[in-house]
Amino acid sequence: MNKSFLILLSLFISFCSVGSDESTTINSDDSTSEASEITNNQTVNNIDGDIKYFIASTVSNEHEEMLKEWVKRAERLYFSRSSAIVDNLYPIYIVQLDRDNAQSASELEEIFCQFLEDEHKKPLRWDGYDASRCADNKWSQEEYERDGFFVQPNGDVAGSAIMSIRQRDGYSLFLSRTHDLPEHASSMGFVTLHEMFHIFQNSHITSTDDYDEQRIINGRKSGDNPDHDVPWWHEGVTVYFSYIDYARETNDPSWFKDEMECTLFCEYDMYGNKSRLQVYKESGIKLNNIRYDENPEPVDSQIGYEVGAWFVAYLVQEHGEEKVLNIYSLLDEYGFEEAFIMQFGNDYKSYLVEFDKFLDLPKENILNILQSN
C-alpha cells in the first residue's frame, strides 16, 4: 500500500494566525437546523443543508459521482449526530479539482472567486470574501503568494483540505483533489470522509470564531510548547474514523486492519527504509510534540496523523467510539484537557505515556486491539 498521495492531505493549511481578530461572525440562514426523530436515544439532526459543488471541467463523471456519494455518507455518519451544530456546518462549498490538470483548477478558481465575491462580499466590513485567498487585501495576497489557492505556486493542483472557518467566514470550504482510479478509489472515499469529519468537529465550537482560539479548543495546542500546532489528536481522531467508517461503508473490515497495520509497519520507502513506528520510536519525540510542520528530519506530520489514529484505536478499545465522538460537545465548555479527563478518566499526557509502552509490545499484541473494533 502506498500512501504518499496522502502527504498533502492537511487541514487549514492557510489560516495560521492571521486575519482572525479583524473578523466578524456572519450569520448565514442557508442552513437547516431542525432536530427531529429519535433513534437509539440519539436526537438526529435534519441534514438537509445547502451544499454547492464546483467541479473542474476536466474531472471525470466517475470522480464527481464518487465525491457526491461519499459526501452523502459523511453527512449521514457525522452531521446527523445530535451534537453537531447544523448552523456551523452549512452552507458547504465543495470544490473538486483534477489532480492532473492545473489549467482546469485555475479556471475554476476564477469562477469560484467570482461566486464568493457575489455571495459573501459585504460593504465596509471584514467578510467571508476578504478572509479567502480570492481577495486583494494584504493578508490574502500574502497567503496566495505563499501557498496559492486551487493551484500551488509550484504549479501543482492543491491538495484536499478545509479552507475556511464556518463561524467566521459564513461558509465551509472543502477543497477535494482527485485520486487515480481505479487504484486509489479508496482514497476518494476516506479522504472525503476525513475532510467532512473536520467540518463536523469544528461545528461544535460556538464560543469563538477566532482560528487560534478554535485550535486551542480542538486540542491542537496540546504539545509541551503551547505555541505549536500539533495534529496527533485532531487528525488522529479524524484518520481513525475515516478509515474505520470507510471499511464499514464498503463492508470490508479487513481493509481497516490492513490500513492501520500498514500505517505503523509498512511504507518503508517513505522514511529511508524504516517503518513509521521505527521512525517515531527512534526520534524520541513525544506524539503530542509532532507538529504540522517544522519537524526535525525524518519525522513528519503524517506520523502525528497515523500514530495519532492508533492512539485513538487504543482509547476506543478501552472506552468505545461514542466516548471519543462525544468529546466534541464538551470542548467548548471545558476545554480539551478537562474534557479528555471527563471522557477517559485520566489526563492525556499520562495516557500518552501508557500508549508509548503499548507500542513497545510485540507487533502481534499491538494489532490485536483492532480485533475488537
The residue (of 239 and 315) whose beta carbon lies closer to Zn ion is 239
Cell 502506498: give the residue: 2
Buried b (16+ CB within 10 A) or exposed e, 298-322: ebbbbbbbbbbbbbbbbbbeeeebe
Size of the site for Zn ion (CB under 5 A): 2
Quote the least distance from Cβ 325 to Zn ion, whole Å: 16
8 Å CB contact between 164 and 128 = yes
The residue (of 85 and 237) whose beta carbon lies closer to Zn ion is 237
C-alpha cell at 6: 496522502
- Residues whose CB falls within 8 Å of the CB of residue 271, separated by 6 or more in sequence, listed in order: 278, 279, 298
8 Å CB contact between 181 and 62 = yes
How many Cβ atoms from other residues are within 10 Å of residue 196's Cβ?
A: 28
The residue (of 229 and 235) whose beta carbon lies closer to Zn ion is 235
How many Cβ atoms from other residues are within 10 Å of residue 127's Cβ?
A: 22
Q: Could you tell me which stretch among 231-239, 240-248, 289-297, 328-336 binds Zn ion (CB under 5 A)?
A: 231-239
Q: Could you tell me which stretch among 5-13, 78-86, 175-183, 244-252 binds Zn ion (CB under 5 A)?
A: 5-13
Q: Could you tell me which stretch among 3-11, 21-29, 77-85, 209-217 binds Zn ion (CB under 5 A)?
A: 3-11
Q: Is 55 helix (H, G, I), strand (E, B) or coil?
A: strand
**Interaction residues for Zn ion, span 108-137 (CB under 5 A):** none
Whether cis (ω within 30° of 0) applies to the bond prior to 362 is: no
C-alpha cell at 82: 445530535
Q: Could you tell me which stretch among 98-106, 148-156, 235-243, 330-338 binds Zn ion (CB under 5 A)?
A: 235-243
The DSSP code for 76 is I
Quote the least distance from Cβ 309 to Zn ion, whole Å: 11
The residue (of 235 and 267) whose beta carbon lies closer to Zn ion is 235
Q: Could you tell me which stretch among 10-18, 44-52, 76-84, 117-125 binds Zn ion (CB under 5 A)?
A: 10-18
Closest CA to 30 of 121, 119, 122: 119
In the complex, residue closest to Zn ion by CB: 11
The residue (of 94 and 366) whose beta carbon lies closer to Zn ion is 94
> Quick one: which H or E segment has residue 207?
none
* CA–CA separation, 80 and 75 (whole Å): 6
Quote the least distance from Cβ 102 to Zn ion, whole Å: 23
The residue (of 242 and 275) whose beta carbon lies closer to Zn ion is 242
8 Å CB contact between 230 and 215 = no
* CA–CA separation, 319 and 14 (whole Å): 34
Q: Could you tell me which stretch among 6-14, 26-34, 175-183, 311-319 binds Zn ion (CB under 5 A)?
A: 6-14
Residue 11 within binding range of Zn ion, rule CB under 5 A: yes
Q: Could you tell me which stretch among 7-15, 21-29, 140-148, 274-282 binds Zn ion (CB under 5 A)?
A: 7-15
Quote the least distance from Cβ 235 to Zn ion, whole Å: 5
Quote the least distance from Cβ 238 to Zn ion, whole Å: 5
The packing angle between helices 253-265 and 234-249, to 10°, is: 140
The residue (of 232 and 348) whose beta carbon lies closer to Zn ion is 232
The residue (of 11 and 71) whose beta carbon lies closer to Zn ion is 11
The residue (of 129 and 174) whose beta carbon lies closer to Zn ion is 174
Site track 189-228 with Zn ion (rule: CB under 5 A), x = hit: ----------------------------------------
Sign of CA dihedral 101, 102, 107, 110: positive
Quote the least distance from Cβ 161 to Zn ion, whole Å: 7
8 Å CB contact between 161 and 195 = yes
Cα three-residue angle 321-242-2, rounded to 5 degrees: 130
Quote the least distance from Cβ 310 to Zn ion, whole Å: 16
The residue (of 209 and 235) whose beta carbon lies closer to Zn ion is 235
Residue ranges that bind Zn ion, judged by CB under 5 A: 11, 235
